[in-house]
């Protein structure tokens, strides 16, 4: 057996795309995402990007295997954030940069955002709206840049004037020059438009469909919660998405918009600020997932206090709606709604994703459930069965952190070892 200390193994390809020698990770504790329990010391053998064996105790690594001694650290499946926007990050300049910067500028920024996200322990993300994401996904898959596995929505689907209408806030001259956006640009106003928009996302290479079922906080529009699709339009999107093997995520703050999206058959509700008892009953009956994004709510509520950070049309929405999401998450958990992990990073700073765990626990959600929400629950929402658990045959997406995250959830902020697909992306340092 070859043995490596806390230093990055020189014989391994760290952060590369080629799988190196077989590895045995010696873990002080292992989090079982199915049971939500720590199972004590374990040894995980990694081969060809997969977990080849899971053995109780810190075992002698097989011959020809490089041993990675993680000390007393807890090993967990790599986290998944189901709601990010890697092509942007909020700032007081956000509303003008779209007119001043080119797509390539946002693409260059996204490279750094992706690496920060990966280094924080998030080996997968669902990017819910942004034209950079499909291209960033491909660059990461080709090994050109470092980042998490991306499930990309591409352009979100909205209605005219809705949260993802790209022409909101434009003056008449510019609007007349460009013309009204349609299904190709992700703006729909009928059942037929809705079907066409999904098919366009397929043509564009999306992995998932995102709709804006209600108004939004940060869009340049007065309402933050008005419903923006009919049930028939939502059903047309969901049915067409199913033809292509897509799931549908619905941004929604307002009660009626959330309800229509649930009745229309979406997979997940994002934000869900004004969820009512009626909505929660419907979600439980239909198995709809809830992705709270408490981080984004707290961020915008705080920034709304700063003069000039948001346009004046946005500021009251950010102050009113943002402050409510954490309480909504608490009520949803108490009422038995299924919760999966998402932050809406891109609103807040990329790389700070793990703070969402702390906010979930602060809301009364048990630490074990919070960790499950970013592992096995997230995999279920994505519709994949090869990640989210540390089991034989699954992807070798493995992270490690000091301490016991069930006893102190803040330990999730200390991730210092990250492996994705059997390749070490962040190695321990002395």
CATH number of 2-78+388-426: 2.30.40.10
Q: What is the pLDDT of residue 6?
A: 41
Q: Of all helices (H) and strands (E), which one includes residue 194?
A: helix 191-204
Q: What is the Cα–Cα distance from 201 to 76, expressed in whole angstroms?
A: 34
Q: What integer pLDDT is reported at residue 224 of this predicted model? A: 60
Which residues, other chains included, contact 364 with Cβ-Cβ below 8 Å and sequence gap of 6+? 330, 333, 334
Report the pLDDT value the prediction gives residue 225, as an integer from 0 to 100. Answer: 75
Q: Residue 327: what pLDDT?
A: 96
- In the chain, which segments carry CATH 3.20.20.140? 79-382
pLDDT tens over the chain, length 430 residues: 444 444 344 334 445 444 457 999 999 999 999 999 999 999 999 999 999 999 999 888 788 889 999 999 999 999 999 999 999 898 777 667 776 778 888 898 999 999 999 999 999 999 998 889 999 999 999 999 999 999 999 999 998 766 666 655 655 555 555 657 778 888 999 999 999 999 999 999 999 999 999 866 666 566 567 888 999 999 999 999 999 999 999 999 999 999 999 999 999 999 999 999 999 999 999 999 999 999 999 999 998 899 988 888 888 878 888 889 999 999 999 999 999 999 999 999 999 999 999 999 999 999 999 999 999 999 999 999 999 999 999 999 999 999 999 999 999 999 999 999 999 999 988 6
Contacts of 252 (CB under 8 A, 6+ apart): 212, 213, 214, 258, 261, 269, 270, 271, 272
Checking DSSP bridges between strand 50-56 and strand 42-47, what pairing results, if any? antiparallel
In the chain, CATH 2.30.40.10 sits at: 2-78+388-426
Q: 3-class DSSP state for residue 232?
A: helix
Rounded Cα distance between 94 and 377, Å, is: 32
Architecture of the structural domain at 79-382 = Alpha-Beta Barrel (3.20)
Residue 52 — φ and ψ, nearest 5°? Answer: -90, -30
């Amino acid at each position: 057996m070859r043995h490596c200390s806390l230093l990055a193994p020189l014989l391994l390809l760290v952060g590369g795309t080629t799988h190196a020698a077989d590895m045995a990770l010696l873990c002080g504790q292992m989090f079982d995402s199915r049971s939500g329990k720590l199972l004590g010391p374990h040894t995980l053998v990694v081969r060809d990007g997969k977990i080849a064996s899971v053995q109780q105790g810190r075992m002698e690594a097989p011959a020809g295997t490089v041993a990675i001694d993680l000390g007393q650290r807890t090993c967990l499946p790599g986290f998944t954030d189901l709601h990010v926007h890697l092509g942007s990050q909020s700032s007081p300049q956000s509303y003008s940069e779209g007119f001043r910067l080119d797509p390539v500028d946002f693409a260059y920024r996204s490279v750094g955002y992706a690496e920060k996200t990966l280094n924080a322990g998030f080996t997968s993300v669902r990017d819910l709206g942004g034209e950079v994401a499909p291209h960033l996904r491909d660059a990461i898959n080709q090994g050109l840049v470092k980042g998490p596995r991306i499930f990309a929505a591409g352009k979100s689907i909205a209605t005219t004037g809705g949260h993802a209408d790209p022409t909101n806030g434009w003056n008449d001259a510019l609007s007349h020059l460009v013309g009204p956006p349609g299904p190709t640009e992700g703006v729909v106003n009928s059942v037929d438009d809705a079907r066409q928009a999904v098919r366009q996302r397929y043509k564009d290479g999306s992995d998932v469909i995102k709709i804006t079922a209600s108004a939004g906080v940060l869009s340049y529009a007065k309402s933050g919660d008005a419903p923006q699709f009919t049930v028939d339009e939502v059903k047309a999107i969901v049915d067409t998405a199913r033809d292509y093997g897509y799931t549908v995520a619905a941004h929604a703050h307002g009660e009626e918009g959330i309800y229509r999206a649930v009745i229309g058959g979406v997979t997940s509700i994002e934000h869900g600020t004004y969820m009512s008892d009626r909505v929660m009953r419907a979600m439980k009956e239909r198995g709809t997932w809830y992705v709270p994004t408490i981080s984004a709510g707290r961020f915008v509520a705080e920034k709304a206090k700063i003069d000039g950070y948001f346009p004046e049309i946005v500021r009251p929405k950010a102050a009113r709606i943002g402050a409510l999401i954490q309480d909504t998450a608490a009520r949803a958990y108490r009422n038995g709604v299924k919760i999966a992990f998402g932050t809406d990073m891109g609103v807040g700073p990329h790389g700070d994703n793990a703070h969402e765990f702390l906010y979930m626990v602060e809301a009364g959600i048990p630490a074990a459930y919070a960790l499950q929400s970013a592992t096995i629950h997230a995999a279920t929402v994505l519709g994949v069965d090869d990640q989210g658990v540390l089991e034989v045959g699954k992807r070798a997406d493995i992270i490690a952190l000091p301490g016991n995250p069930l006893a102190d959830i803040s330990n999730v902020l200390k991730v210092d070892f990250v492996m994705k697909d059997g390749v070490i992306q962040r190695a321990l340092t002395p």
